[in-house]
Amino acid sequence: MTMKTDVTVIGAGAAGLAAAVAAASRGRKVILLEKSDRPGRKILASGNGRCNMMNTGVPVYYGDPDFAASVLKKCPFSRIEDFFKQYGLMMTKDAEGRIYPITYQSASVLTVLKNAARITGVSLITGCNASAISLNNEHFLIKDDQDDEIISGKVIITCGGAAQPKLGGSEDGYRILEAFGHRIVPVFPALVSLTTDKKSISGLSGIRIRCGIRLKEGSRVIHQEKGEILFTDYGISGICVMQCARFTEKRNTHLEINFLDGMYENTEVLMSEIRRRQVMLSDLSPVSLFDGILPERISYAVMKQAGIPMRGEKAGSLTDNELKNINEAAQNYRIYITGTRGMDYAQVSAGGADCREFNAETLESRHVPGLYAAGEVLNVDGDCGGFNLMFAFSSGILAGESV
């Protein structure tokens, strides 16, 4: 079977749905192809099912942040907001500038996008893998696994990145763009939990604690974050940890955790408090020095890393040098990183199609007229907080308008 259309969008995720609706709303005949049995699976999983759609704060992007800034300048938050409101989605903002659907349900976002696709006349075809794309006489010829074909005037690649293959993540978009001569910046997991040495996390699985963390390579600080971390059987997780992950790629790194971040004015004040507690709790275990400050299991881990034997010692018997070691361990608890949990568990992948080969005003390829790309397939990834979905929506809308 052969179909003819003005625009074919390949990949029905956040960028693809936005691009298809934007193009169809301007009178274009649009076919939207999705290789899985249903669209928007990553949208449903976003924000633990709450869908942090956007962020009104200072944008934090990597890969090609200047390209991301240009796209968001052309299609800013206000335009994305108007796009969704037009099709019925109400949104709300939290104190930190994160935007959610007013229902706090990812399903609301996907439902509105699917409604918009129906309203504007988008032909959504699921279970269709675009196995081959070629350019023939200024038209694109797209073939699927069943040897059906689409003749299309324009093509928008919105296949997403390689993260979370169970939800549809793949390298399909990279392969398509590479076949058309585009350079692919090496891809790796960005927002993902870290695997670590076992000794430093022994006995801590399940504990959540707010702290400051420094990612270091040797003595050099590579990246710093603050927030809640979660100890697990394999290592550590939490937003602040995942935002460090991208900087561990091909590096010999470790984390230093300040369990007492923001509690005391400086180290001297903390030492004075530890000495006061030593006197007050002299006949108790050294772990008691942090009673009321840290969870007991964290206190025990700090003592072990500080070199306190924990064989019946009493707080009152600790030397001043041992107290200084405890102080140091509580503020610079060291965890060695062995790797990340990989693409299977990553929220987003870094790398992708080189943005310099696309026009930030239109998302059109500089190599192949009529070929566009939007979303995670491009070399743009952001921090947690809605930045990745915001770029997907922004670039998708802009590409859809441009065709």
Quick one: pLDDT at residue 229? 97
Q: What are phi and psi of 260, to 5 degrees?
A: -110, 20
Cα 197 versus chain centre, distance: 24
Q: What SS3 state is found at 220?
A: strand
Q: What SS3 state is found at 302?
A: helix
Sign of CA dihedral 355, 51, 159, 2: negative
pLDDT above 90: residue 258: yes
pLDDT interval class at 131 (50, 70, 90): confident
Q: What are phi and psi of 147, to 5 degrees?
A: 65, 15
Copy the structure tokens of residue 26: 């301007």
pLDDT above 90: residue 144: no
Quick one: pLDDT at residue 73? 97
Copy the structure tokens of residue 250: 């091909």
Mean pLDDT of the chain: 95
- Residue written as token pair 């034997």: 309
Per-residue model confidence as pLDDT tens digits over 213-255: 999 999 999 999 999 999 999 999 999 999 999 999 888 999 9
pLDDT above 90: residue 146: no
The angle that helices 387-402 and 65-74 make with each other, rounded to 10 degrees, is 60
How would you write 228-286 as a 3-class SS string? EEEECCCEEECHHHHHHHHHHCCCCCEEEEECCCCCCCCHHHHHHHHHHHHHHCCCCCH
In order of 147, 327, 371, the CA distances from 7 in angstroms are 19, 63, 10
CB 132 within 8 A of CB 33: no
Copy the structure tokens of residue 16: 């693809």
Domain ranges of the chain: 2-189+349-402, 193-341
Which H helix or E strand runs over 231? strand 220-231
User: Do you know the residue count of the chain?
Assistant: 403
**DSSP-assigned letter for residue 366:** S
d(CA 373, CA 173): 9
In order of 93, 271, 303, 328, the CA distances from 267 in angstroms are 38, 6, 17, 9
The fraction of the chain above a pLDDT of 90, given in percent, is 91
Picking from 284, 272, 280, 281, the residue whose alpha carbon sits closest to that of residue 323 is 272
d(CA 358, CA 366): 5
pLDDT above 90: residue 47: no
- Region 343-352: mean pLDDT is 96
Q: Pick the residue with more confidence: 3 or 137?
A: 3
CB 43 within 8 A of CB 164: no
Quick one: pLDDT at residue 48? 84
- Residue written as token pair 């107290």: 323
For domain 2-189+349-402, give the CATH number.
3.50.50.60
Picking from 285, 342, 349, the residue whose alpha carbon sits closest to that of residue 316 is 285
Per-residue model confidence as pLDDT tens digits over 282-319: 999 999 999 999 999 999 999 999 999 888 889 999 99
pTM value surpassing 0.75: yes
Measure CA of the first residue to CA of the last residue in the chain; give whole Å: 25
CB neighbours of residue 134 within 10 Å = 11
In order of 21, 192, 238, the CA distances from 228 in angstroms are 38, 15, 6
